[in-house]
Amino acid sequence: MVAGLSYRFKEQHDQEDIDDMLQIIDLIVKAYSSLNDNYLFKLSKNEKKIKLEDSTKLQYIMDELFEAEKVLHFALSQEQMLKYRGLISAFKERNKEYIKQ
């Protein structure tokens, strides 16, 4: 997912957007690093079964973040998932003028 952060930040929301992305990365790293090896092995098998869209075909970073939910729900708690979605929503709201409807 970090490699998929090809989004070019718009001038007025740069710092807020960067802070949200860092929080998302921190949330995911903490979630995965708190899992035991056996669960990670099972998680890996489940994640491989999920068909994800090719990130090069997705137009916006929000699309990539929503797509990532397909696998993240295996590793994130309900509370973490709500925080993840909140960060994405805030990011999307701040940048809605740059998103084609």
Domain edges within the chain: 13-95
What Cα–Cα distance (Å) separates residue 73 from each residue in 24, 32, 93?
A: 14, 11, 22
Among 40-44, 81-85, 97-101, the least confident range: 97-101
Q: What is the largest CA-CA distance in the chain?
A: 44
Structure letter (DSSP) for residue 8? P
What Cα–Cα distance (Å) separates residue 7 from each residue in 20, 45, 86?
A: 13, 29, 19
* Dist CA 88 CA 82 (whole Å): 10
Of 16 and 24, the one with more pLDDT = 24
pLDDT at 100: 66
Helices and strands, counts by H and E, the chain: 4, 0
Q: What is the pTM of this model?
A: 0.77
Of 10 and 90, the one with more pLDDT = 90
